[in-house]
Amino acid sequence: MTTVLVTGASGFVGQSLCRAFASSGNRVLAAVRSTARPCPSAETIVVGEINGSTDWQQALQGVDIVVHLAARAHLGSGSNSVRDREFYMAVNAEGTERLARACLSSGVRALLYMSSVKVNGEETFDEPFRPDDAPAPRDHYGESKWWGEQAVQSLCSGKLQWSIVRAPLVYGPGVRANFLRLMCWVDSGWPMPFGSVHNHRSLIYVENLSNLIVRAMQTGKAAGRIFMAADGEDLSTPTLCRRIAEAMGRRVNLWCLPPALLTGAARLTGLSAEMSRLTGSLVVDASATFSCLGWSPAFSAERGIKETVEWYLQTRHKSGGHVQ
């Protein structure tokens, strides 16, 4: 039986991934900071804070495969200060390097690093992002993930099998941040000023991402490669809003305002980054992922959105109208 260690196992993606590995017949170890959020599908191992000093020796005993999901996520709107960079680098760069070195000394067979499309950049225009593009991170988070990628490649090449997955926005039951806010906005019935937006954005449903990672670890074809992850259907913001509204059984109130006006208003209110994600395009080319791994998403974007909305509605009902 293969033993898999998942870092960040108590998180949104981590819990889904632990279930996916367990259902495939693997022994799953969940590396977490504390026992406050246990992972039912795995054996819990507390490793504390992940940084350049984490002691991985006990957690990696007898482990065949490591999937490194744990990361310092976005600190908030506009967070791009020198201090923010230190936080990101400590976890996402130094923490990843520390884990890679520990994998080498512990006899781990394979390491998969969960990266981000932000390594490629923030927005696409004429061409989608591909894994062989020159990295162009635009903020400290993207930069730190790029440093993590470099640590994995430089330390592990020729010594153990490594793989990297760059994901765009991940959604599904339990999602937080921007996707949850968008569902709340649609649910509120308030007008949404995106009727004139003609963008395209790649997304990936959390179960699709988990299945992709399991597939990558089951085949030797993943070794030494960077993969882009996506559902395979790119949606505009108006289309996404309509799909969410349809799953809620309601109509969305889309107003047609010029994107330039939205951008200007966002700049004045300090919400430029958020508005850019709603009006700009970010498309990834995952065709090489599909062909190399012989993999295709089990969930369509339509079904993934429906499952996510159903979770949202159930959670809202149980919590008296608020989802946090």
pLDDT tens figures, 240-259: 999 999 999 999 999 998 88
On whether the CB atoms of residues 274 and 266 are closer than 8 A, the answer is: yes
On whether the CB atoms of residues 292 and 225 are closer than 8 A, the answer is: yes
Query: In the predicted model, what is the mean pLDDT of the chain?
Result: 93
Average pLDDT over residues 197-224: 96
Q: Sorting pLDDT into bands at 50, 70 and 90, what band is 77?
A: very low
**How far apart are the C-alpha atoms of 207 and 227, rounded to whole Å?**
17
pLDDT at residue 78 is higher than 80: no
Which residues does the annotation mark as catalytic? 141
pLDDT at residue 203 is higher than 80: yes
The dihedral built from the CA positions of residue 207, 147, 54 and 2, taken in this order, carries a sign that is: positive
Share of the chain above pLDDT 70, in %: 95
pLDDT tens figures, 266-318: 888 888 888 888 999 999 999 999 999 999 999 999 999 999 999 999 998 77
Task: Give 83 or 153, the one with higher predicted confidence.
Answer: 153
Work out the number of other CB atoms within 10 angstroms of the CB of residue 86. Answer: 12
The domain made up of 3-171+203-232+283-298 is a member of CATH 3.40.50.720 = yes
DSSP 192: B
Average pLDDT over residues 39-64: 94
Model-level pTM? Answer: 0.94
Q: Where are the strands (E) in the chain, listed by range? A: 3-7, 27-32, 43-46, 65-68, 110-116, 161-167, 169-171, 203-205, 225-228
Our measurement of the distance from residue 112's CA atom to the centroid of its chain's CA atoms, rounded to an integer in Å, reads 14
CA-nearest of 67, 81, 62, 72 to 30 is: 67
Q: Could you tell me the residue ranges of all domains in the chain?
A: 3-171+203-232+283-298
